[in-house]
Structure 1
């Protein structure tokens, strides 16, 4: 804890899972238009579910003398914010 200068939060996008989901939905719609109804419905439905599950993540970044370190990452932003607050309280108590 002596080398930690500050603590910050970084928000990341949904990542590649959302991109793959959008491509699957687009391919499913193309298949539907070309007459492959069953496969088109499957791709569209699966892509929609995958897109719904793709959530952005939040990371806890510790700024140290040797550079930034990602302590952990979670889809639950409240957990990351609570952890950041706990670390900051520990700094206040320590000093």
Structure 2
């Protein structure tokens, strides 16, 4: 399968770019200037959980700019569940 990510940098300051990267994406890093939207394509190679993250130091919260994409088989009907602990 093919997954398209459309990423917009909503930053208001003209000199604060963001970067995005994901394991297995066609681009190793995508640099996005304030106000711009860029697209990258990702071809998941296998089932699992894949991280994506900001690659351009942008602020004190830079390390917080990350997330995960779960890839499941097309036949899966298992819902995603998560928690912050007990």
TM-score by length of 1: 0.25
Q: Which of 1 and 2 has higher RCO (CA within 8 Å, sep 6+)? A: 1
Greater strand fraction, Structure 1 or Structure 2: 2
Relative to its length, the structure with more helix (as a share) is: 1
- Compute the TM-score of the two structures, normalised by the length of structure 2: 0.26
